[in-house]
Amino acid sequence: MRYVYYGFGGFIGFVCGIALNLIFYMLDQSGIKFADYLIKNFNFFGKYILQLIDALPLLGAVLGVLLVKYLFGRELEEERDEPR
């Protein structure tokens, strides 16, 4: 059952990461050149931030699993300790 919790947390994190990534994509398509601004003003650090924005779905999935482990860690450990 714990893997169902982890999978659900990863799925929700992935969906949230895609939604945030879509917001940045729509911002760029609307005429506000967010990527050019980051590269011009922050140079290497701006390129790094853009790579992090591209990785938001994967980061969201990992953070979703970690959040489930943090929030439901005690319940998931108790489930394993119960005799069958």
Q: How confident is the model at residue 80 (pLDDT cuts 50, 70, 90)?
A: low
Q: How many domains does the chain have?
A: 1
pTM assigned to the model: 0.79
**Residue 60: per-residue pLDDT:** 95
Domain range spanning residue 39? 2-77
Q: Is the pLDDT of residue 81 over 60?
A: no
**pLDDT tens, residue by residue, 26-76:** 988 898 888 888 889 999 998 999 999 999 999 999 999 999 999 988 887
Residue 82 falls inside a structural domain: no
Structure tokens at 22: 């879509």
Buried b (16+ CB within 10 A) or exposed e, 32-67: eebbeebbeeeeeebeeebeebeebbebbbbbbbee
